[in-house]
Amino acid sequence: MNYPVWDVPILGSAWVIGAIASFHVLVSHFAIGGGFYLPMAERKALREGRADWLEVIKSHSRFFMVLTAAFGTVTGVGIWFAIGLGSSEGTSTLIHNFVFGWAIEYTFFLIEVTSAMVYYYTWGRVSDRMHLTIGWIYAGSAWLSLVIINGILTFMLTPGSAWLAVAGTGEEASRFWQAFFNPTYFPSLLLRTCICITLAGIWAFITMSRIDGARQPQLKTDVMRWTAKWLIPSFVLLPLCFAWYLYSIPEASRGLLELGVKTMGQGVFTQVTRAALVTVITSATICVIVYLLAWRSALDFKFGHACALLLLAMAATASTEYTREMLRKPYVINQHMFSNGTRKSQVDAFNRDGYLTRSPWVRPEERALWQSGDSADPKVQAAHMARGELMFRGQCMSCHTVDGYRSMRRFLETRDRQAIGNILTVLHEYKDDSPYKKFMPPLTGLPEEITALGDYLNQLVHGADAKKAPAPAPVVPVPAAK
Partner 1 sequence: MAKSSLPGFDAIPFGRLYDWLDERVGVKEVVEFAKKKVVPEHSQSFWYYWGGMSIFFFTVQLVSGILLLVYYRPGEGAYDSVRQLVYEIDFGWLIRSVHSWAANLMVFSVFVHMFSTFFMKAYRGPREFGWWSGLGLLGMVTLFGFSGYLLPMDELAFFATKVGLEIPKNMPGMRPLIENIVQGGPDVSSVTIQRFFALHVVILPLMFLPLLTFHLWMVMKHGNAVPQSEELKPASQRRTVPFFPNFFIKDLAMWLIALNVLAILAAMYPWPLGVQADPLASAPEGIHPEWYFMNQFELLKILGRILPGMAGEIGGVLMFTLGGVLWGLVPLFDTSSKFGSRARIATWFGFMVIASLIALTVLGYYEVVVTKS
Stretch that binds partner 1, among 155-163, 164-172, 196-204, 265-273 (CB under 8 A): 265-273
The answer to whether residue 308 forms part of the interface with partner 1 (CB under 8 A) is yes
Q: How far is the CB of 327 from partner 1 (least distance, A)?
A: 17
The answer to whether residue 300 forms part of the interface with partner 1 (CB under 8 A) is yes
CB atoms within 10 A of CB 199: 28
Cα torsion 317, 401, 452, 471: sign: negative
Stretch that binds partner 1, among 48-56, 68-76, 125-133, 287-295 (CB under 8 A): 287-295
Rounded to an integer, what distance in angstroms lies between the CA atom of residue 292 and that of residue 420? 53
Rounded to an integer, what distance in angstroms lies between the CA atom of residue 17 and that of residue 11? 10
The answer to whether residue 312 forms part of the interface with partner 1 (CB under 8 A) is yes
Rounded to an integer, what distance in angstroms lies between the CA atom of residue 113 and that of residue 115? 6
For residue 401, the cross-strand partners are: 407
Residue 331 to residues 190, 253, 341, 456, 482: CA-CA distances in angstroms? Answer: 24, 10, 9, 25, 18
Q: How far is the CB of 309 from partner 1 (least distance, A)?
A: 9
Return the residues of window 141-160 that contact partner 1 according to CB under 8 A.
Answer: none
The answer to whether residue 314 forms part of the interface with partner 1 (CB under 8 A) is no
The answer to whether residue 274 forms part of the interface with partner 1 (CB under 8 A) is yes
CB atoms within 10 A of CB 236: 10
Rounded to an integer, what distance in angstroms lies between the CA atom of residue 311 and that of residue 368? 55
| Burial of 465 (C-beta count, 10 Å sphere; 0-12/13-18/19+) | exposed
Stretch that binds partner 1, among 125-133, 153-161, 225-233, 280-288 (CB under 8 A): 280-288
Say whether 401 sits in a helix, a strand or coil. strand
The answer to whether residue 281 forms part of the interface with partner 1 (CB under 8 A) is yes
Say whether 407 sits in a helix, a strand or coil. strand
Rounded to an integer, what distance in angstroms lies between the CA atom of residue 19 and that of residue 114? 27
Q: Looking at 292, 469, 471, 480, which residue binds partner 1 (CB under 8 A)? A: 292
Measured from the CB atom, is 189 or 281 closer to partner 1?
281
Q: How far is the CB of 271 from partner 1 (least distance, A)?
A: 8
Stretch that binds partner 1, among 59-67, 108-116, 185-193, 295-303 (CB under 8 A): 295-303
Stretch that binds partner 1, among 108-116, 168-176, 271-279, 358-366 (CB under 8 A): 271-279
Q: Looking at 193, 207, 282, 340, which residue binds partner 1 (CB under 8 A)? A: 282
Q: Looking at 65, 167, 315, 399, which residue binds partner 1 (CB under 8 A)? A: 315
The answer to whether residue 214 forms part of the interface with partner 1 (CB under 8 A) is yes
The answer to whether residue 259 forms part of the interface with partner 1 (CB under 8 A) is no
The answer to whether residue 435 forms part of the interface with partner 1 (CB under 8 A) is no
Measured from the CB atom, is 309 or 390 closer to partner 1?
309
Say whether 406 sits in a helix, a strand or coil. coil
The H or E element containing residue 33 is: helix 13-48
Q: How far is the CB of 51 from partner 1 (least distance, A)?
A: 27
The answer to whether residue 288 forms part of the interface with partner 1 (CB under 8 A) is yes
Q: How far is the CB of 268 from partner 1 (least distance, A)?
A: 9
Say whether 329 sits in a helix, a strand or coil. coil
The H or E element containing residue 114 is: helix 88-121
- C-alpha triplet 477, 479, 480: angle, nearest 5°: 150
Measured from the CB atom, is 314 or 362 closer to partner 1?
314
CB atoms within 10 A of CB 215: 8
**CA count, 13 A, side-chain hemisphere, 68:** 31
The answer to whether residue 298 forms part of the interface with partner 1 (CB under 8 A) is no
Q: How far is the CB of 214 from partner 1 (least distance, A)?
A: 7
Measured from the CB atom, is 3 or 15 closer to partner 1?
15
The answer to whether residue 267 forms part of the interface with partner 1 (CB under 8 A) is yes
What's the one-letter identity of residue 441?
Answer: P
Stretch that binds partner 1, among 85-93, 202-210, 301-309, 325-333 (CB under 8 A): 301-309
The answer to whether residue 376 forms part of the interface with partner 1 (CB under 8 A) is no
Query: Crossing angle of helices 13-48/217-228, nearest 10°?
Result: 120
- C-alpha triplet 213, 219, 225: angle, nearest 5°: 95
Q: How far is the CB of 311 from partner 1 (least distance, A)?
A: 8
Stretch that binds partner 1, among 240-248, 300-308, 371-379, 422-430 (CB under 8 A): 300-308
The answer to whether residue 285 forms part of the interface with partner 1 (CB under 8 A) is yes
DSSP assignments along 202-270, one per residue: HHHHHHHTTS-TTT-HHHHHHHHHHHHGGGHHHHHHHHHHHHHHHHHS-HHHHHHHHHHHHTTTTT---
Q: Looking at 278, 380, 386, 426, which residue binds partner 1 (CB under 8 A)? A: 278
Q: How far is the CB of 410 from partner 1 (least distance, A)?
A: 12
- Binding residues for partner 1, how many (CB under 8 A)? 25
The answer to whether residue 289 forms part of the interface with partner 1 (CB under 8 A) is yes
List of residues 6+ apart from 472 with CB closer than 8 A: 417
The answer to whether residue 88 forms part of the interface with partner 1 (CB under 8 A) is no
CB atoms within 10 A of CB 89: 19
Q: Which spans of this chain sit near partner 1 (rule: CB under 8 A)?
A: 214, 264-267, 274-275, 277-278, 281-282, 285, 288-289, 292-293, 296-297, 300, 302, 304-305, 308, 312, 315
